[in-house]
Structure 1
Amino acid sequence: MTLTLYTHPMSRGRMARWMLEELGQPYDAVYLDYATTMKTPDYLAINPMGKVPALVHDGRVVTECAAIVTYLADAFPDAGLMPADRAAFYRWMFFGAGPFESAVTNKALGVEVPPEKRGFVGYGSFDRLLATLDATLSARDFLAGDRFSAVDLYVGSQIGYGLMFGSLPASAALSAYWDRIKDRPARLRAAGLDDAELARMKHDG
């Protein structure tokens, strides 16, 4: 069995690395550079988009971070990261990959959707999206069942980054949710590995 993650320490690949650390399976991490190695023919044969992360599992390629996290939860059931409540899992995973990411990205880029055009975007309005997340996480500790699962890793990572960089307001519910998951040993290991690589890149560069 081979697992290889193609990533960069300043990318969504940090989520995929956290997921791999949760699995406890051996894997290799290949760090790529945005301007050079991500655009080589060898890597474009893996991901023609020329971006990371990408996962290769026994010759099978998975791209897109939400797909990688979902695939690994399903492929390694012994890790216990695919919850019994699949409906909630898929609901919030696709919420995270679609409306949530789009809303936060547009907000960061200064894209304002006119009220009469909100039907064109999956999140409607940034305020409505935040209210939905806030109400949900005020009523439960985790998104799919009564314990941590892969959907908390994916959506929770986005919340953590949003709180860190100020693209999300630090509401009581969002802050408490992030506090529940941020100190998981697998996340701390993954962050340590990526932070060390980032420091090496800066030193070498």
Structure 2
Amino acid sequence: MIVLHHVHQTRSMRVLWLLNELGVDFTVIGHPFDRTLRDPEYLVLSPAGRVPALEIDGERMFESLAIMQYLCEKFPSRLGGDPRALDRAEWLSWLNFSETISQHTAALTQQHVMLYEDSMRSPIVMRLEAARIGKCYAAIEARLSTPIENRETLLTSGFSAADIAVGQAVYMAQFFARLDDYPETAKWYARLAERPAFRASLPPEGAALFERDFFPAWEDG
């Protein structure tokens, strides 16, 4: 039995997307994004009080990328995870690159969403973190622009959990930095957004964490 503890528009989305791609049976327990994640009952599952948490085979896991790697190894598929695969190093590198993007998005989520008063926010942090997301986009753009025929995924071997992890990070990052200057990345992301498993991982109407589709960097005046 697989149980995913999930909050919409957080890192648990990448695990939800992967489970949908794998086509395995699982149950989702939704949580509000508030202090209930610090309740003792939940801390048994995730000691830092964060999502995701996964209950599987009588065990519990609480780091999204570790969960993704475990699921790919437990349910072998085209999505990767085979330690013997020729592109194992690239798979691991891009899978974990998603967290580089996510840490900048998390900083901006705190600035724009969690801090309610302008006096609490830092224009320097907001501009800096948005620029750092741009650097991450540039890395993806360079990867997708390499002279390999029909490059449509991060790995030459095709769509994988690396695309899921990075794609989810880009989904979140676009609340703070647009893809206008990164055409190959925009096309890659558009293809991912058409996948049924991606659409199934999106929040239903009225359940989104963010109230707006885009939060521009701090603008004086």
TM class by shorter chain equals 0.7 to 0.9
The CA distance in 2 between the partners of 1:197 and 1:75, in whole Å, is 34
What TM-score do you get using the length of structure 1 for normalisation? 0.77
Letter matched to residue 179 of structure 2: P
Letter matched to residue 169 of structure 1: L
Aligned to 2:40: 41
Residues 195 and 48 (structure 1), Cα distance of their counterparts in 2 relative to 1, 3 Å cut? same
Residues 127 and 162 (structure 1), Cα distance of their counterparts in 2 relative to 1, 3 Å cut? closer
2:177 counterpart (167, 187, 199): 167
Deviation at 1:48, TM superposition (A): 1.2
Letter matched to residue 30 of structure 2: Y
The CA distance in 1 between the partners of 2:32 and 2:185, in whole Å, is 33
Q: Deviations over 1:85-127 (max 9, x none)?
A: 1111011112222x3333444567542899xxxxxxxxxx655
Whether 2:97 is the aligned partner of 1:81: answer: no
Residues 100 and 161 (structure 1), Cα distance of their counterparts in 2 relative to 1, 3 Å cut? closer
The number of aligned residues is: 184
Aligned to 2:141: 134
Letter matched to residue 25 of structure 1: V
Which of the two has greater helix per residue? Answer: 1
Aligned to 2:101: 100
Letter matched to residue 82 of structure 1: G
Q: Secondary structure at the match of 2:171?
A: helix
1:195 counterpart (194, 201, 204): 204
Whether 2:181 is the aligned partner of 1:181: answer: no
Aligned to 1:64: 63
Q: Secondary structure at the match of 1:4?
A: strand
% identical aligned pairs: 28
Q: Secondary structure at the match of 1:29?
A: strand
Residues 106 and 162 (structure 1), Cα distance of their counterparts in 2 relative to 1, 3 Å cut? same
Structure 2 runs not aligned, ≥5 long: 112-123, 209-221
Letter matched to residue 160 of structure 1: Y
What TM-score do you get using the length of structure 2 for normalisation? 0.72
Aligned-residue Cα RMSD (Å) equals 2.7
User: More displaced, 172-181 or 33-42?
Assistant: 33-42
User: More displaced, 45-54 or 7-16?
Assistant: 7-16
